[in-house]
Amino acid sequence: MIEIDYTIERDTGRTKPDIFKPVIKGINQSPLLAEIAADNSRGKSTFLQIMAISFAASENNLKNPELLAKINRLVNEDYQSLVFDLTIDNPNFEYIYNISKPNKDKKNIHFIITDRKTKHKEELTPTSVKKQFKLIYDIPNEPLSRLKNLVEDIKGVQDEITQKIPLLKNILENNLKEIINQPKEEEVNALESKRIKIEEDINELIKRIKRKERKYESLGLLCEIRELQKINSAIRKEEKKLSEYKKKEKKQGQPPKVDTGKRTSIFLVLSRQEDEIEILLKEVYDLIMSNFSQDIDVEVLKNKYKRIDIDDTRNTPTQNTTANTFIIYIEKELRNLGPAVNEKNQESVLILKDLIHVLSRFEDSDYDIPGINMSPDKLLKIFNSKIKDLGFSQEIEEVKNRATDLIREIRILLEEHFKYYIANKDILKTESGSTNYIDYRSLIKQTQEDIRANKKKEKNRINSLSSKGVPETKIKSMLNSIVRKFPELSNYTNIDSILNLYERVRVEISSLKRKRDNKGHALSIVKEDFSLMKRLLKRKNKYSDHRETLESYLDSLVAISHDFEKMNNYLKIMQSNGQLPDNDLAKRYIKTINMLLAKKLKFVTLEGNNHPLKEVNYFKGYFILDNDKKIYFNDLGTGNTQSNYLRSLLRRGYNQPLIVLFDETAMMANHSLHEVYKEMKKLYNNGSLLAGIVIKAGEKDSVKDICKIV
């Protein structure tokens, strides 16, 4: 019995190699003389090749170069590996033979003989094997069979090339992909510039935020300081009034015998109204002096202000009062200042202001506005710059508006004051009608209460400033410091204006912080891309300079892949005598195959004689001999010659045990083949033949015992 097991691993370029194992039913444990039939690619010849390898097949003991090439391919090619284990147990022999190749990466073959009786084992070297056994391994030299083998050889070569194509394609594609995706030096530099620019922008934003935060803090303090100044001013005024009341009370002496309660309350209302008018007049005066001292005649303004007599507001119609003269002058001066923007540009300013209002909602967006390809932020900068160029100033506008509001308020108060006085004029008179007695005691009391209330406010304000790190002694120097750092705040004396600006700066700070965060996010993305690109740049593909060459080879490889597919198909058609297509590739291929077959076949054996070959036409099925005789395949014999040849091989009388391996005997007729089988059986029976395998083509797998066939 012959026991065989083998594994062939073949790398086809895919992740896992193809694995081949014995698949023909019965081949694992076959008779010592076996006829094996199976369809193509079932592993018949592989079995014979392993048998031949086991018995040290080489150019010394194997004359057929095609068979030798096949054996070499099985053990020497890098893309495939072989392991096998073979045992031959022939009862006619003294030893049991075990031949194995256990390591796929090593070529070593172990030939162990085991004594049937003593079980003693011994390993033979390849040289000993060669000397001790006679290997007969051949393919019947019948022309058509040989021709068929040659065609199979061509197919084998084509298959080997085809199998390597995906691997090469993969290598080409991967390298090209790497080359294409590899960043260019300029791209990396551009990204680095972008990174630096973003970092600069962020630093600039941080600086602006810090400055705005300082301004915001200063505005908070400024607001409190201005409040404190206002309270101080009120206290001073009330103290002055208190002193006057005390003097007047002393001068007035005892009160007349009249009911003074109602009169005093009227007097108090009138005094409060006058105080309010005076405060507003002072505020509008300070506002104009602070903001327009360069544009108006300061001396005239001062005189007009000094001439205000608050007492005339009681009994003089509003339009004739000195206070009204003053505010009419202010109105005239404001008109003279004219609009900051000329008439022609006013419409532009209005449009720009509306646009700025709309765009400011999208200030933080990076979206480029279609048509102009510009971000809202960039466009806002342009609009703001334009509106400034046109002479528009938000702050000046606010000052003017505030002055106008104050004037309106003063006029209303003057009207109310005058009306109130006229309405209560008679009550203010004494019984005699000549003396106005005033209840200074109540006024003094009221004023003292006002002073106390204001002092309480003053104390609270001082405490608040102190808690913010500005002790009372440092308030003045803090104010100077604020004005020094932010000169534009020197004109801000009005609390409402300060609070408006305070809110505006707060909004600006949060907007700047949002921008900084957005830039920070962009920076982290750019940094990540930059480091990735830099790494890729360092790992430059070694074929980067040959991109076009590789692309050209890849294109050709894809084309070849299709061409080989077609060529394999042509070969199948040729073997089955089908209809070949009429195209250039098919024509070139047939011509090549015919030339190749003629070169390899060299001669045709007919009736025991070799005839040199001039041409082969495989597709049309004929040979042309050197004497121009045309011989059609169909006219050739069925293998008698070959049978005689094989039998003559077996009859030569060898001294060593024989191993007989005949491949591809399909073209031999059964009766010719049986003659060979008889010869083999005779050798087996007389103990000369250790093992004999004959391979036939067949559609179904079969392993038959030759001793039972003949």
Partner 1 sequence: MSKIETTHLIDIFEEKTKKDLIDLLSKDIKPEKYLDELIKKSKSKK
Residues near partner 1 (CB under 8 A) are 69, 73, 76-78, 153-154, 157-158, 160-161, 164-165, 167-168, 171-172, 175, 543, 546, 549-550, 552-553, 555-557, 559-560, 563, 567, 585, 588-589, 592-593, 595-596, 599-600
Nearest to partner 1 of 382, 595 (CB atom): 595
Instruction: Please state the closest distance from residue 179 (CB atom) to partner 1, in A.
Output: 11
Residue with tokens 């058609």: 573
Structure tokens at 413: 């108060």
Burial class from Cβ neighbours inside 10 Å (0-12, 13-18, 19+) for residue 594 reads: middle
Instruction: Please state the closest distance from residue 612 (CB atom) to partner 1, in A.
Output: 18
Nearest to partner 1 of 553, 603 (CB atom): 553
Instruction: Please state the closest distance from residue 154 (CB atom) to partner 1, in A.
Output: 6
Nearest to partner 1 of 408, 542 (CB atom): 542
Dist. CA 168–CA 161, nearest whole Å = 10
Dist. CA 311–CA 424, nearest whole Å = 16
Instruction: Please state the closest distance from residue 94 (CB atom) to partner 1, in A.
Output: 41
Nearest to partner 1 of 9, 89 (CB atom): 9
- CB 465 within 8 Å of CB 475: yes
Dist. CA 382–CA 376, nearest whole Å = 10
> Which of 308, 280, 269, 279 shows the shortest CA–CA distance to 421?
269
Dist. CA 554–CA 168, nearest whole Å = 9
3-state secondary structure of 30: strand
- CB 418 within 8 Å of CB 313: yes
Instruction: Please state the closest distance from residue 167 (CB atom) to partner 1, in A.
Output: 6
Nearest to partner 1 of 567, 660 (CB atom): 567
- CB 294 within 8 Å of CB 434: no
Rounded alpha-carbon distances, angstroms, from residue 497 to 384, 396, 665: 21, 11, 113
- CB 277 within 8 Å of CB 417: yes
Q: How far apart are the first and last CA of the chain?
A: 18
Assign 3-class secondary structure to 547-559.
HHHHHHHHHHHHH
CB-facing half-sphere around the CA of 520: CA atoms within 13 A: 9
- CB 695 within 8 Å of CB 23: no
Dist. CA 355–CA 348, nearest whole Å = 10
410: which DSSP letter?
H
Strands ordered across the beta sheet of 622-625: 603-606, 609-617, 622-625, 630-632
Instruction: Please state the closest distance from residue 663 (CB atom) to partner 1, in A.
Output: 17
Treating both helix axes as pointing N-terminal to C-terminal, what angle do 322-337 and 394-424 enclose, rounded to 10 degrees? 160
Instruction: Please state the closest distance from residue 583 (CB atom) to partner 1, in A.
Output: 13
Instruction: Please state the closest distance from residue 74 (CB atom) to partner 1, in A.
Output: 13
Nearest to partner 1 of 550, 604 (CB atom): 550
Nearest to partner 1 of 164, 211 (CB atom): 164
Nearest to partner 1 of 178, 244 (CB atom): 178
Instruction: Please state the closest distance from residue 164 (CB atom) to partner 1, in A.
Output: 5
- Alpha carbon 622 to its chain's center: 65
Instruction: Please state the closest distance from residue 132 (CB atom) to partner 1, in A.
Output: 32
Instruction: Please state the closest distance from residue 153 (CB atom) to partner 1, in A.
Output: 7
- CB 68 within 8 Å of CB 61: no
Instruction: Please state the closest distance from residue 528 (CB atom) to partner 1, in A.
Output: 31
Nearest to partner 1 of 41, 549 (CB atom): 549
Instruction: Please state the closest distance from residue 79 (CB atom) to partner 1, in A.
Output: 8
Nearest to partner 1 of 176, 690 (CB atom): 176
- CB 43 within 8 Å of CB 25: no
- H-type helices in 576-639, by residue range? 584-601
Nearest to partner 1 of 480, 556 (CB atom): 556
Nearest to partner 1 of 79, 645 (CB atom): 79
374: which DSSP letter?
B
> Which of 249, 227, 224, 229 shows the shortest CA–CA distance to 447?
249
Nearest to partner 1 of 421, 589 (CB atom): 589
